[in-house]
Each structure stands twice: as C-alpha cells, then as structure tokens.
Structure 1
C-alpha cells in the first residue's frame, strides 16, 4: 500500500557548457562557500517528507553529504523518468527538485503545499525582459499549465519552467513509458534522444492530468553556464540583508577604529585590524584576518581561514572563498573558490577557481567601451546577459605578472599564462600561454650624451 510523501533531489551531470568548471558536478558548485546541494538539502528538510532521496553521480563529496543528512542515495541514470517511476511506486506523492539550482525556501514551501493537497504542480516563472524564450523549456499557463514546449518561439509560451515539480500516482504510467526525446516542439526543430522528465509531464497533460502553475516569487538559478555561479552567489549575499544585529563569536578581536555601517557575523579566532571599513553587512568565517585599512563592501562573505590584506578593496556582493590570501592593495569583485592566492596590486573581476594563483599587477577588465554585454558562443548558440562579462579561471590555473584579461574570457583548468600576456580569447584546459616578442638591443652609454 502506497503511503506518505517523498522528495527526490536530482543532480544531473555536468556538461561542456560549464567550461571552465566542467570538472565539478554542478550541484557541488558553491554559493556563499556552501554547495548548492547543501543549500537545497537544508531547504527541503524544513518540510515534512517521509523520505528524501538523492539521485547523483557517485562522487566522494556527494557521499559525504548523503551520510551527513541521512538521506538515501541512488546513482544517476540516463533513463531518469523510469527511475522516478520506481521511486513513486510505494508513495502517494512526490516532489522533484534539482540539486544543481538555487531555489528559495518560500517557493519550495509553495510546491510542498500543492503536494500535500494531493495535486500536481510545476514551478514556473515569468521571463525577464532580457531573456529569450527559445532556450530550455517554456510553458503556456492559463491558471493551470496547458502545455510545455522545448526551445519555443515567443508566441507559444508565457512562462519558463523551473525544474521543480510535484505529482501523485496519476504520473506512474507516464513516467514508466516515457520515451527518449521531446515531442512537443515547433515544426523543423531537432530534439535530441535524451530522456526528459518534461516529456512525461507533457504526455500527462495531453491525457488530462491537471498541473497547477506555482508561480516562482523569488529569483531562481539553474547551473547551465559558468556565469550562473555569479548570480547564485549574489543571491546568497542579498540574503545578508536580513541581518539585524551583530553575531560576534566570543573572542573576536575588533580594533576600536574599525567603522561598520552594517552588522557582522563572525566565527572563531577572527581578527579585524585598525582602519578597516565595512560598508554593509558581512559574514566572516573562522580563523580570518582582515588587515589594516581594508574596505569591505556591502553584503560580503569571507570564508574560513582567509586573509584580506592591507588596504584591499572587496566590492559589494563578493564572496571570498575559504583559505584565500588576498594581498595588499588587491581589488576583488565576484567569487573566489578555495585556496585562491591573489598577490599585491591585482584587480579581480570574475569567478576564480580552486587554488588559482593570481600574480602581481594582473588586471581583469569587465567593462567594454560600448557598455554592452559580451556575447558568449556555446555549442553554436549565442548567450548574453548580466554576468557574461565576468572572467572565469578554472581550477589550478596560474597567471603571470601583468596579465590583462579582456571581458568574458574563460581559461580552462590547469593552465599557465606567462608574464605580460593579453588574454583576449578563451584558453582550453592544460595550456601554457607565453608571450612571443621581438626586442631590439643597441649600444648606449655616456658618449651618447656628449661626455
């Protein structure tokens, strides 16, 4: 006999579109130094599920989270609809969310309420003004969801699907017999032969199953491209607006000259030296040192074990990763992962991977002369948005003194760039880039001045 409610968190594998971070399972990418999967697990766990199941690759960090959160693990399968059918057999209702996404607590709770009523529902959101409808899955909503379209033209849809669903036993046969590909496309389109949950849902809609449209009230991000990392971290930082008082760990050392125009949350063994200015709220991890004269912007995060050097400038909504060393007079805007070392006088604007070495005088430029967003080309398609100008450096890269990075360039993991190189195009992983130059040497001396 089927009983209770089950939550499935699905974590699809990475794709080449995530370059230069395609080596990392997207669910393990971080927002505020916490993996997206952890954030989703925390938020899902606030609701009363009889069982939570994680469907993902067999990665060591994922297995650690399975043990920590005491959830059931199933290894990722390409025939995902069939796997969901097998998991639904013994339960009345099911929620499916993606661990590769940023989804707000309120929106999860709204979906949960629909499921508790025994109904089916899809989380949807209106398209932003700058977004194109012809990417991903769109829906036509008229109170309920009337149809799902893949890569639709604008006049077919009025909302976007947000990869979060609830359903009941009515979905069993549609999941069980879901075919590869997606059939509800515009004439002349060429769907691939992957399995899609949306194919099962569209078949159910065509056979009379009613799906409520649950309107997404908060921002939603799905990790498809590297610049999505920036948006998810900004959303995390925006949540720091909710801080209304200081939370200082006993023993935190703050010099009396420090100016704070917001609230601080600190961990163990935090030292904040004289002349530091906080322009807004800030979350500071354990064993952090912020040195003289540093300026920390609004709603920033500084990870465990990090050092922010003398007179550094950390811009608003920036996340400094764990165990970072930001040298004196450095300027940082964006996201750094674990173990980044950025020495004196550099300017960082972008997403910087694990253990990346940023040399002295490196400049990352994200503002174009025409003030337009960089057009990124991925798999033959063009993308442009608020964060496509960010520079992205994959894990374990090394830069050279005086490198200049032009807006939107991406450097693959384990690459090294020699001194003085102007990086104007993407660089594939495992590359060594050196400057080829011609020098002129002539005789010179006192006699040239008439001595």
Structure 2
C-alpha cells in the first residue's frame, strides 16, 4: 500500500471564523498547514503518491504544494495530486472523486482536518496488511474518553473488530474514527453511497450527506469484517475553534521535546546575556538577543529576532521573519506565525497565524487569524466573575468546551482599536473591526464594524470657576 488519499473538501462551518477564507486542512498548526503535517508523515512512512481531494477553496492547497506540481514527482520523491470535489456532498463522494487518480490498489484514507500520530498510521497499515480474505478494511479508532458521543460518528468494538457504527448516538458507543485502510473491493461501496446516514437512533436528524462511515457499515452488513486499531498517540480532529489550540499545544510540546541541545543554522546566534533553561533551534539568520528569558525549549524559523527582555515560557513554535521583543511575554505552548510582531509589553497565550501585529500593552488569550492588527491596549478577559466556562454557539447549537472555553477567537483580516476589551469566549468574523473602547460581549459576524457612539457635554470653564 503506497497510495494515500486525504479528504479535504468539507466546508468547515463549525470552525467559524477560521474556515471562511481557507480550507480546514490549511489551518496552521505549529507554523505550517495541518495538511503539511499529514504529507510529511506519509512521506516518512514510504508512501509514493498522495491524492488530496479539495473543495471550493482547493486552489490554496494546490498553491501550497506548487513546488511539487499537481501531478509530478516532487523533490521529496512523492507524487502529490490535487483533485476537486466542489459540490462537497460528503466524504464518500470526495473519496470517489479521487478514483480516477488511483491505480487498482489498496489505499490509506485520512481526513484532512485531523492531527494523527505517525506511529498510529504505521500500525494501521501494518494491521491491514495482515488481514484475512473476509476483511475489506481496517479503521484507526480513538477512545471518546470524556467527549460526548453525540458530537461524532461513533463505533463499538468487539474482539478487535468494529462491531457497529452509529451516527451521533446518545450513549453506549466508545470510539470514533481517525483514518482507514481500504482494499480495492471497497470502491463498490463508496460509489453506491446513498447520501443519507441511516444508522441513527430514533429521533435523531441526519443531514443529506454521503458519509464514508455509512459505506463502511454497508460493507460490514454484507459480511465483511473491519479491523479496529486503537490509537496510542495523540489525536485531534480540528472541528471547532478550540481544537486549533489543542493541536498546536500537542505539536509544540512534541517537537520541542525532541531537542537534546541547541541547534543553530547558518548565521544564527544567541547573546550571552540570554537565560535559557531548555534548548533552542534557530533557523538561518535568526537570533536571540540581550536579556531574553526562555524557560523551556523553542523552535524558531528563519530570520526571526527575539530580543530586549522578551520572556518565553517554553514549548514554542515561531515562524520566519518575525520580531518578538521589548519585554513581551509568551505563555507555555504559544505558537507564533511568520511575519508577525509581538512587541512592547504584549502578553500572548495561544496561537497567532501569519502577519499578526501585537504592538503595545495588550493581553490576548486564544487564536488570531492572519493579517490581524490589534490596537494598543487591546485586552481580553480570561476569567469570568463566576469562575465558570463560557458556552459557545456552533451552527446554532450551544456547546461548552472542556478546554479553552474562555479563549477569544479573532478571524482573518480583523482590526481592533485602542483599549478594546474582548470578553471571554467571543468570536469575531473575518474582515471585521472592533472599534476603540468597545466592550465586546457577543460574537461579531463577518464584514462588520462596531464602534462606540459617544455623547459629549460641553460647558463654559475658566478662571472664574476658581474665584478669579
């Protein structure tokens, strides 16, 4: 099995505001798109062809991999082919969109919005290779743990196999799907998907969508067994905004833990006055300047400067051509994109995409989309007066995340004015402005401008008021 298919055609409506201008697969994780992590894992496992099925924004995926060409051998020895499923009627139809680019062979299938451990993919492929004649597929599955089963298409396991599949069940299901290995016999089931998920409990309301898991259940109902391989490593499905924070934390911690000493590329330098408790990896021309404090490990891209008393709490991933300095503060696990500025006394906890400017006296916790500019003294509330968790509205449904519920989520191309205050859990849509002095307590739709209307009282004043 040397061909993998990545399904990346979904609209990502639950991820608002971060999938408005990009496919979910292109959301940055540790300074590069999520799908780049998947391709790198597949390359390391020896896959020679990757077929990516994109949706209406597939041009961004094709552009990212342009140095490889849409269907020619790359410098890494891998064919990367981008095909389109612009109707995006479900993962089964997206899989079929890749059929013409496949040989008559077994395939590995990933969802383009998932962070999957490379070792788990290797275990899935190895288990599939050992299948019997009655097995048409193997599935990598992840224990639900404390996650509600009603949020996912779930399954039950029995004797190492998938015993049953149910769509968003109320209870009694233990695992969810991460990735698949399919024999060539499975194409017959994917191509005849009904477009409706019928395996639901009474009273549930499935949308008209051709889910791959329904085709898998059809296959099982015809007598084929499906092996279940449980995850051992970390797994994140980037389904909602707070999952961006979880994925970035995992990758930053994992990659920084690999450092066993300082790694300095050509022209990189560390000033003797810097205090570093862990290790740093610096790209070409990057430098750590005077009086920097790093409590942990940091991985930095090319031509980035960290200087003048910046404090970094460790396990950071920082991109290219970025400036961090002048007594700013980065909390544990923070990711900073390329071409960013984190400047004078700014405090940052979370993830900022490329070309984000945090200039003066501000505090931010959450996710900031690309090309966003925060006005001086923009701050966010991180602790509610009732010490509770903020509920979020996702496609009209109220949800309270177990983690990062009080984070702030600013979309791409957003601006804030000076002294804007963002209350816990608010989201701001793309191309929007939150004006000076606004106290924001609710989500802001895309393409909106909010500002405070001020009433001024004018009176006469002068020396006579002081008895002259």
TM range (shorter): over 0.9
| In structure 2, distance between residues paired with 1:343 and 1:88 | 48
User: In the TM superposition, what is the alpha-carbon distance from 1:287 to its structure 2 partner?
Assistant: 1.1
Which of 12, 17, 20 is residue 9 of structure 2 equivalent to?
A: 12
Contact 2:435 2:452 (C-alpha < 8 Å) held by counterparts = yes
Matching residue of 1:144? 161
Matching residue of 2:448? 431
User: In the TM superposition, what is the alpha-carbon distance from 1:201 to its structure 2 partner?
Assistant: 0.4
Which of 413, 417, 421 is residue 400 of structure 1 equivalent to?
A: 417
| In structure 2, distance between residues paired with 1:20 and 1:396 | 11
* 1:55-204 mapped onto 2 (5 Å cutoff): 55-57=53-55, 59-64=58-63, 65=65, 67-68=67-68, 69=74, 70-76=79-85, 78=89, 80-81=91-92, 84=95, 86=99, 90-118=103-131, 120-129=137-146, 131-142=147-158, 143-155=160-172, 157-162=173-178, 164-204=179-219
**What's the secondary structure of 1:152's corresponding residue?**
coil
TM-score, normalising length from structure 1? 0.94
* 1:273-422 mapped onto 2 (5 Å cutoff): 273-385=289-401, 386-422=403-439
Deviations 1:132-190 (A, max 9, x none): 111120111112111110010112x111222x111213423322322111111001222
Matching residue of 1:444? 461
| In structure 1, distance between residues paired with 2:243 and 2:214 | 25
CA RMSD, Structure 1 to Structure 2 (Å): 1.9
Which of 21, 24, 28 is residue 23 of structure 1 equivalent to?
A: 21
| In structure 2, distance between residues paired with 1:89 and 1:105 | 23
TM-score, normalising length from structure 2? 0.91
User: In the TM superposition, what is the alpha-carbon distance from 1:236 to its structure 2 partner?
Assistant: 1.2
| In structure 2, distance between residues paired with 1:266 and 1:147 | 49
User: In the TM superposition, what is the alpha-carbon distance from 1:380 to its structure 2 partner?
Assistant: 2.8
Contact 1:336 1:353 (C-alpha < 8 Å) held by counterparts = yes
| In structure 2, distance between residues paired with 1:193 and 1:302 | 41
| In structure 2, distance between residues paired with 1:304 and 1:6 | 32
Deviates more, 1:408-417 or 1:375-384: 375-384
| In structure 2, distance between residues paired with 1:137 and 1:354 | 32
Contact 2:41 2:118 (C-alpha < 8 Å) held by counterparts = yes
| In structure 1, distance between residues paired with 2:239 and 2:66 | 24
Matching residue of 1:49? 47
User: In the TM superposition, what is the alpha-carbon distance from 1:296 to its structure 2 partner?
Assistant: 0.8
Q: 1:233 to 1:8 in 2, by over 3 A?
A: same
| 5+ long unaligned stretches in structure 1 | none
Contact 1:88 1:94 (C-alpha < 8 Å) held by counterparts = no
Matching residue of 1:219? 234
Contact 1:88 1:172 (C-alpha < 8 Å) held by counterparts = no
Matching residue of 1:257? 273
Deviations 1:25-69 (A, max 9, x none): 111111111101111000012223353211113633311316525
Deviates more, 1:197-206 or 1:436-445: 436-445
Contact 2:10 2:90 (C-alpha < 8 Å) held by counterparts = no
User: In the TM superposition, what is the alpha-carbon distance from 1:88 to its structure 2 partner?
Assistant: 9.5
